[in-house]
Every structure is written in structure tokens, then in C-alpha cells.
Amino acid sequence: MVVFAFINPPRAIIDSLPTEWFLGRSENGWMHRELFFEYVANGVNSWLEKENIKKPVILFMDCHESHLTLDLSNFSSHNGAIFYALPPT
């Protein structure tokens, strides 16, 4: 996912991204809880289903607070996604 701080990212940037990538928007261009949930639920999960990838799957992520939410935990347990948070080094 590429996160933009723009309301409407420049068309040239959008057109240059691979079609499999997801676009997101936040006020400051940073990831936040709702945006990460949207990415997993509407992006990653949809892609897994489209590609007929057998679940459960393991998704690796960092321990950023935007990734660790109850909503995401509930969604992942109902949709065959196992999150593994990599510890900081």
C-alpha cells in the first residue's frame, strides 16, 4: 500500500503504480489504524481470494501501534489470516 497525504494524488503517480498495489490516504501521509485495517480487509484479503490462495496464511508485520488493533485481530481470526509481529531489533 502506498499512502498519500494528497486528497487527489497526481495522475502521473497513480498511473505509474503497479496494478496490484493499493492506494491509501491520510492527513499526513502516514499509516494509521483504520487505514491499515482497510488495507488488510479490502486489499490483502481481496487479493488472497482473487488469487485462490489457500487459508490460513501468515502475514508478517512490524510492531507499529497502527497494526495492533482488536478489530484487525477479530477480522483476521474470521478470515484465516495469522499475523506475526516481528520484534524490533
- Specify whether the CB–CB gap between 24 and 40 falls below 8 A: no
The count of domains in the chain is: 1
Q: How confident is the model at residue 46 (pLDDT cuts 50, 70, 90)?
A: very high
Which residue shows C-alpha cell 491520510? 26
Q: How confident is the model at residue 78 (pLDDT cuts 50, 70, 90)?
A: very high
- Predicted model pTM: 0.80
68-82: average pLDDT = 92
44-73: average pLDDT = 91
pLDDT of residue 7: 78
Q: How confident is the model at residue 13 (pLDDT cuts 50, 70, 90)?
A: confident
Alpha carbon dihedral 34, 68, 27, 11, in 10-degree steps, equals: -70
Structural domain that includes position 56: 2-85
Question: Percent of the chain scored above 90 by pLDDT?
Answer: 47
pLDDT of residue 59: 93
